[in-house]
Structure 1
Amino acid sequence: MAARQPDHPALKIPRGRTRAGDIDYLTLTFVELDAEVSAWAARITAAGVKTDDRVLVMVRQGLPLIAAAFALFKIGAVPIVIDPGMGLKSFLTCVERTQPRALLGIPLARVISRVFRQKFRSVQIRIPASPNPTARLSASVSQLSTLNSQLVNRNAADLAAILFTSGSTGAPKGVCYEHGMFEAQVRLIRATYGIQPGEVDLPMLPIFALFNPALGMTTIVPEIDPARPAAVDPAKIVQAIRQENVTNSFGSPTLWNKIADHCLAHDITLPSLRRVLSAGAPVPETLWENSRRFLTHGQLHSPYGATEALPIASVCSAEIIPRSAAINAPAKSPSVSASSVSASSAPSPSTQFRSVADTSQSPFSQETRPAFHPSPFTPHSSNAPSGGACVGRPLPGIDVRIIAITDAPITTIADARELRPGEIGEIIVRGPAVTKTYDALPEATAAAKITGDHGAFWHRMGDCGYFDPLGRLWFCGRKVERVLTEKGPLFTEPVEQIFRSHPQIARCALIGLDVPGKQLPALVIQPRAKLSASAKSALARELRSLAAAHATTAGIARFYFHKAFPVDVRHNAKIHRLTLAKWAAKNPSHEILSSA
């Protein structure tokens, strides 16, 4: 991009406010960013880092992260990126397992590496980085011709980076990315969302900023603490979007709920935004609806994927239409012969959604259809996901199948039983953006990968879901979090949808008490406000009545009160349900009783 649009802004980092109250940015053009990358490449090479060396990157978001990461790509080294907020114990375990030869970090990072010397014993080189997110190495443009000669050509199958999962349902794992996988991701993202060079992006997950130089987008670094994203001030995000005419932004549903509430409370619209990408957890119905009010010239999109495979599918607010309109103009359902769908076999994206919550039109029997009815608290609900969250159709080149659920490893695809549309099973995927291995975790790799035909492989997403007759994929929850009762399994998303729109509930989580196969289903509630004993009792009665009204939830009789759910640091959206289950088992006094 430095050659195509050298003088176009590549990166803007906030450094305070002007006297007029505007955000004051340090701005780098693409040619200036390229100079920074080259300067970092020279410094890293001079420190002794070589091709294929693993380098742990512990720097600030924005200029340091982008420049350092691309410098490592340039010299053929392998950046290791670990979430800063996962907790010290998990972080040190990740460092020890990945065996980095070098550490590129701020002063605090280098201190940590010496205090916990045993965990960092593989580190032979320590490269200093400034804690100031606007600090530059001041490489002059005249140096580029010399430094560019150091570019190391890499093959598509060469290891490019190790990125860690959030660890929301287990220990964080290092995912091995090849250069060809990154290239496939860029192609998919550009084609799926129609991103054009010259657009302006505000990514509320720092790692997503690394796509922007390849996409030709200007990166606006948000005023957000990556270790505490829930503490974001939505007013600052809104100011940045409006001031810089941001066209694209990524953030979790939790973050965008805060921004949406702020916009609606202050009658603010964001006309420059063409698209908002929200992932990390299912997008709630309220956000789908509210997005139409502040995204006056854009759409809310929900991409589906994981650190191991992204993007897999996507759905947008234009496809999730109001329920009344969907029923008045129902879409024709094409036949689908099997629960294996790719973009080439899926119906046209212009096909409208209809409300599967209208059971008279449901294509599924009561035994296979995920039961759900609109909550009485939203009598005119939009076309909310029915028995799960719709995540759209598979993207071009991505194959998705639904197979029978098992917790055991699956060696070959011939050992997996494929399910029919409407049957909830395990989601598996394959494609050019799907990773092949975890780093130094052969057992985890064996458990998550399935050998396919002709040397291909499938990745087990760890999620449960199903296909509908229109070829759309529906997410029903994490496999490890399903509740195994004597009457069969319960899946988190279809159950929680029934309760989520209650006005007093901020979050809710389905959990299982006792051993799998004999688990008692229970619901943990995080209320929007502090409740008195009598209010808790009244809430319990309402929830029990709501549960009894639906076949899916009729067996839920236990409700627990929790003031603040444990969630992942990366998105502040993934609920740690297994942690809540352990908490509920140890704290029976927190069960909400129907009388107080």
Structure 2
Amino acid sequence: MTGANVSRFLDEKAVSQPDVPALLVPRGRQPDGSIDYLKLSFLELAAEQNEWARRLRAKGIGKGSRVLLMVKPGLPLIAICFALFKVGAVPVVIDPGMGLKSFLNCVRKSQPEFLVGISLAIWLSRVFRKAFRSLRGKIKVGGPLERVSDSFSEEAAESTATDDLAAVLFTSGSTGAPKGVSYEHGMFEAQVEAIRTQYSIKPGEVDLPMLPIFALFNPALGMTTVVPEINPSKPATVDPEKIVRAIQQCQVTNSFGSPALWAKIGSYCDLHDIELPSLNRILMAGAPVPPGMMKQYRRILPNGQVHSPYGATEVLPVSSVSDLEILQGAADRTAKGAGTCVGKILEGVEARILPVVDGVMDASFLNNPLGVGEIGEIVVTGPSVTKAYDGLPEATSLAKIEKGGRTWHRIGDLGYFDADGYLWFCGRKVERVLAGDAMFYTDCCEGVINAHPKVFRSALVARRKNGTVEPAMFVELFKDQYPASKDDEKALLAEMKELAARCQVTEAIKEFHLHKGFPVDVRHNAKIHRMTLAKELNGA
């Protein structure tokens, strides 16, 4: 299908709701302490998009051009990204917080032809010339408030098909090397429709996206984007007062963020007895959401709900679960070792549970899915499922199954379906622990220990000793719950062992260690780096 260019979403909103605010970017404080915003309507944002499109074309950027985008969250990020879509170019987006070495490796792999970025990005390209040697042009961009247009002027969009490459988005690399995921125009459109339908999002709503890439959905959904005051490379350093102020001042109705961010915001709201009545929904993703946090937000959101969408960079969304579904039964099962309920599969998406295989799977594996309650590998197909990793044929063959013209993605997660059709997440495949003949799954085991009132989170790892493997558990407590003495620590660890002994899933776990702060992913600051903890335990 032609005419599938996703830049049309912004063009359509510039016509249907030209005067509605499209973007609010913080630029300081008013005398009364309120946030001072640069405000742009949908028509003004479309004007910015079109002017950038003209500038990009003047620099030789057109259909198929690969463009490394290194811009801070704000006006230029959204305007330039849609301008790149409009001219048919392919933005390459790499997480800025993954560390310099990993970042430069991603640049080498993606082979961008152009760099559009801030001064620091231009400087990096000069210092690390080898990583950027594929470049043949650079465009310098200003800060989050930079405007390039003072009036609207039409600019034609490049004709693109649904299967034309639209962007390359890199995974966070939380359980392996980051990989570029190839997104087609039709996949973005499928994501937009799935999000709109699942969460009943209406034009005119106000969104505060605490992961910058999610702001790109808003022009298609007709939502106002409020840029949060947050460092995207260090999201856990967020000041909750600034987020709460933005929600209250802008009457935010929707927000996306990781559980780690919402934990800080929730604690602040509890401390100051704050409710957030404007919020219709909070989408928490990036890691399992603790049931206790969902219960906490039942008070904070008198008119809204917490939802936890499940998926991956390669396929999102797959399923979704609400706070009520968790609190009305699923949480109790999690505490008994059932894993984490991630909801029912979304309309248009199909998922199966297959026997666990570490190598390539061919189409024949799809013919023998596991039954209800059987733990296996989660594989998914649907209109938003990506077909390949950028320039990585071996990784693609390991992660994809082709059958009947459809691509199935192996998420790398283990789980099962219950008798009611709910999908349960048991943990990452690479993080399972095989000790003798017994298999231990991270989310199943950790759910039992996390039920202890002093536990913030726990992590199952493999203890390797004299050629054998035994399950072991690290435990991170809430900050004010750490023991004051060795005797108190010994008593607390004894409680953990007793808790584990009462559940069949964890009764074989005998080794427990307290930990002051787990290593986590840079994107969400929520996914635990269990492999790093295992190296710490085993002295590797």
Q: Same fold (TM over 0.5)?
A: yes
CA displacement, residues 503-541 of structure 1 (integer Å, 9 cap, x when unaligned): 332221000122899421000122333543333222211
**For the aligned residues, what is the CA RMSD?**
1.6
CA displacement, residues 527-576 of structure 1 (integer Å, 9 cap, x when unaligned): 33354333322221111111111111111111223222110111110000
Matches within 5 A, 1:38-187: 38-130=50-142, 132-141=143-152, 144-145=153-154, 148-149=155-156, 151-187=157-193
Counterpart-to-counterpart distance in 1, 2:164 and 2:415: 33
Query: Could you say which residue in structure 2 is the equivalent of 1:303?
Result: 309
Query: Could you say which residue in structure 2 is the equivalent of 1:396?
Result: 347
Which of 33, 36, 39 is equivalent to 2:45? 33
Shift of 1:414: 3.9
Query: What amino acid is aligned across from residue 438 of structure 2 in structure 1?
Result: G
Would you say 1:272 and 2:222 are equivalent positions?
no
SS in 2 for 1:422: coil
**Could you say if the C-alpha distance between residues 305 and 170 of structure 1 is closer, same or farther in structure 2, counting changes exceeding 3 Å?**
same
Counterpart-to-counterpart distance in 2, 1:417 and 1:356: 31
SS in 2 for 1:270: coil
Counterpart-to-counterpart distance in 2, 1:356 and 1:399: 27
Query: Could you say which residue in structure 1 is the equivalent of 2:499?
Result: 546
CA contact (8 A) 1:94 1:172 kept: yes
Query: What amino acid is aligned across from residue 375 of structure 2 in structure 1?
Result: I
Query: Could you say which residue in structure 2 is the equivalent of 1:198?
Result: 204
Shift of 1:320: 2.9
**Could you say if the C-alpha distance between residues 373 and 316 of structure 1 is closer, same or farther in structure 2, counting changes exceeding 3 Å?**
closer
CA contact (8 A) 1:278 1:303 kept: yes
Moved more, 296-305 or 254-263: 254-263
Query: What amino acid is aligned across from residue 145 of structure 2 in structure 1?
Result: T
Moved more, 31-40 or 508-517: 508-517
SS in 2 for 1:140: coil
Counterpart-to-counterpart distance in 2, 1:29 and 1:315: 33
Shift of 1:413: 3.7
Would you say 1:387 and 2:338 are equivalent positions?
yes
Which of 451, 455, 470 is equivalent to 2:405? 455
SS in 2 for 1:418: coil
CA displacement, residues 69-123 of structure 1 (integer Å, 9 cap, x when unaligned): 0010000000000000001111011000110000001010011111110111001
Moved more, 75-84 or 494-503: 494-503
Query: What amino acid is aligned across from residue 404 of structure 1 in structure 2?
Result: P
SS in 1 for 2:14: coil
Query: Could you say which residue in structure 1 is the equivalent of 2:470?
Result: 520
Counterpart-to-counterpart distance in 1, 2:335 and 2:306: 24
Would you say 1:563 and 2:516 are equivalent positions?
yes
Matches within 5 A, 1:129-528: 129-130=141-142, 132-141=143-152, 144-145=153-154, 148-149=155-156, 151-323=157-329, 357=333, 373=335, 387-414=338-365, 417-452=368-403, 454-514=404-464, 518-528=468-478
Query: Could you say which residue in structure 2 is the equivalent of 1:592?
Result: none
CA displacement, residues 107-162 of structure 1 (integer Å, 9 cap, x when unaligned): 100111111101110011000001x2111113422xx13xx13x101000000000
**Could you say if the C-alpha distance between residues 209 and 517 of structure 1 is closer, same or farther in structure 2, counting changes exceeding 3 Å?**
farther
Would you say 1:534 and 2:484 are equivalent positions?
no
Q: How many aligned residue pairs are there?
A: 525
Query: Could you say which residue in structure 1 is the equivalent of 2:10?
Result: none
CA contact (8 A) 1:189 1:311 kept: yes
Query: What amino acid is aligned across from residue 361 of structure 2 in structure 1?
Result: I
CA contact (8 A) 1:394 1:400 kept: yes
**Could you say if the C-alpha distance between residues 245 and 426 of structure 1 is closer, same or farther in structure 2, counting changes exceeding 3 Å?**
same
Counterpart-to-counterpart distance in 1, 2:21 and 2:498: 57
SS in 2 for 1:519: strand
Q: Which runs of 5+ in 1 are unaligned?
A: 324-352, 358-371, 375-385, 588-596
Query: What amino acid is aligned across from residue 285 of structure 2 in structure 1?
Result: A
Query: What amino acid is aligned across from residue 338 of structure 2 in structure 1?
Result: G
CA contact (8 A) 1:560 1:584 kept: no
Moved more, 90-99 or 43-52: 43-52
Counterpart-to-counterpart distance in 1, 2:79 and 2:240: 27
Query: What amino acid is aligned across from residue 520 of structure 1 in structure 2?
Result: E
**Could you say if the C-alpha distance between residues 416 and 581 of structure 1 is closer, same or farther in structure 2, counting changes exceeding 3 Å?**
farther
Query: What amino acid is aligned across from residue 54 of structure 1 in structure 2?
Result: R
CA contact (8 A) 1:234 1:262 kept: yes
Query: What amino acid is aligned across from residue 50 of structure 1 in structure 2?
Result: G
Query: What amino acid is aligned across from residue 563 of structure 1 in structure 2?
Result: K
Q: Which runs of 5+ in 2 are unaligned?
A: 1-12
Counterpart-to-counterpart distance in 1, 2:114 and 2:24: 28
Shift of 1:416: 6.1
CA contact (8 A) 2:341 2:425 kept: yes
Moved more, 5-14 or 558-567: 558-567
CA contact (8 A) 1:464 1:479 kept: yes
SS in 2 for 1:553: coil
CA contact (8 A) 1:404 1:416 kept: no
CA contact (8 A) 2:114 2:138 kept: yes
Shift of 1:356: 6.8
Shift of 1:30: 0.5
CA contact (8 A) 1:373 1:550 kept: no
SS in 2 for 1:2: helix
TM-score, normalising length: structure 1: 0.86
Counterpart-to-counterpart distance in 2, 1:277 and 1:45: 37
CA contact (8 A) 1:57 1:80 kept: yes
CA contact (8 A) 2:291 2:327 kept: no
